[in-house]
Amino acid sequence: MFTVVTAESLASIPRPPVRRILSLDEMGGDVFRGGSHTRAPRIYGGQALGQSLMAAGLTVDRDRHPHSLHGHFVHPGRSDEPVDYHVERLRDGGSFTTRQVRAVQNDRTIFLATASFQRPEVGLEHQHPVSSPATPPEELPRFEDSLDPEELREATWLLPLFKNIGVDFRFPEEYPRLANRRGESRPPRQRAWVRTPEPLGDDLLVQAAGFAYCSDLFLLSAALPPHARHIDTPGLQLASLDHTVWLHAPFRADEWHLYEQHGYRMVGGRGLSRGYLFDRDGNLLASTAQEGLLRFRD
């Protein structure tokens, strides 16, 4: 049956409970269990990232903050089954703590990650790149309200996104996917203001895991605009292969930040994208990288 998409129907969709998704059950022996709380066929990659960082952090002294997460997607996960995160304590040093996390579902490893934590310290500081000015999110419409009637009718891809991924987003420029759907190519660059739809509290670990959850959204698709293709293009096989998050300073994932994404390379059926998260003053708070399968078949 054909689904009619309207701005009102999208706005009425309950968003996934990110804070609940990041709340893990302790099973004993440094094993933690997480659930999806959505009806998507597969687990959203950001869920594995956020829950892995939470599991690792729950075995670390709270005076140490996460600064990096490196993950490999091994098998697709099912959203109707819980995931157990097995944490291995690799190192507890004077300044840094390192953990390895193995996400297991039905006796199969679906995700592998290493996470590093550091005791805060003061040192030399600079940043590159810098952000260019962007319209503040409060002055931008919701994405669904920015679409013209024809674009909205064709935006059936928004339904599973709103139902299964708990990220608010607003674009200061046209989202390249819209131009790609018109058959137009664009530079491999896109920007969006992002945040979680609900407050996450004051725990720095939860806020960091909240951004890890958000960081997977749109990132790999930044490699497609030069080819006038998008992730719903017929014949595209898409899958995340690995994902890295670097956290440069503490911040709140439940507040608006500008997420700038660049698609650096497409070759061999793989795409590589980098992301940069800026606050309103242009301070670089986090960086990301992701390589994924972007294979087109006839």
Residue 96 lies in a domain: yes
Give the active site residue among 51, 52, 273, 290: 290
Position 155 scores a pLDDT of 86
Position 1 scores a pLDDT of 44
Please choose, from the candidates 83, 84, 90, 85, the residue with its C-alpha nearest in 3D space to the C-alpha of residue 101: 85
Q: What is the mean pLDDT of each run of 10 residues along the chain (298 residues)?
A: 76 95 98 95 97 98 97 97 98 98 98 98 95 97 91 89 96 96 96 98 98 98 96 93 98 98 97 98 98 90
Domain that holds residue 106: 7-120+134-296
Position 297 scores a pLDDT of 82
Position 132 scores a pLDDT of 94
Identity at 15, one-letter amino acid code: R
Q: Are 194 and 215 contacting, i.e. CB atoms less than 8 angstroms apart? A: no
Position 175 scores a pLDDT of 96
Residue 1 lies in a domain: no
Give the active site residue among 216, 221, 254, 287: 216
Residue 129 lies in a domain: no
Q: Are 271 and 89 contacting, i.e. CB atoms less than 8 angstroms apart? A: no
Residue 126 lies in a domain: no
Q: For residue 107, indicate whether it is catalytic.
A: no
Number of domains the chain contains: 1
In the block, tokens 């805060």 appear at: 120
Position 161 scores a pLDDT of 95
Residue 198 lies in a domain: yes
- CATH number, domain at 271? 2.40.160.210
Cα 281–Cα 225–Cα 74 angle in degrees, nearest 5: 85
Q: Give dist(CA 130, CA 180) in Å, integer.
A: 27
Q: For residue 290, indicate whether it is catalytic.
A: yes
Position 298 scores a pLDDT of 66
C-beta contacts of 1-10 below 8 A and 24+ residues apart: 3/156, 3/159, 4/153, 5/152, 5/153, 5/155, 5/156, 5/158, 5/159, 6/152, 7/142, 7/144, 7/145, 7/147, 7/152, 10/144, 10/158, 10/159, 10/162
Give the active site residue among 207, 221, 240, 273: 240
Residue 184 lies in a domain: yes
Residue 186 lies in a domain: yes
Residue 279 lies in a domain: yes
DSSP at 81:
S
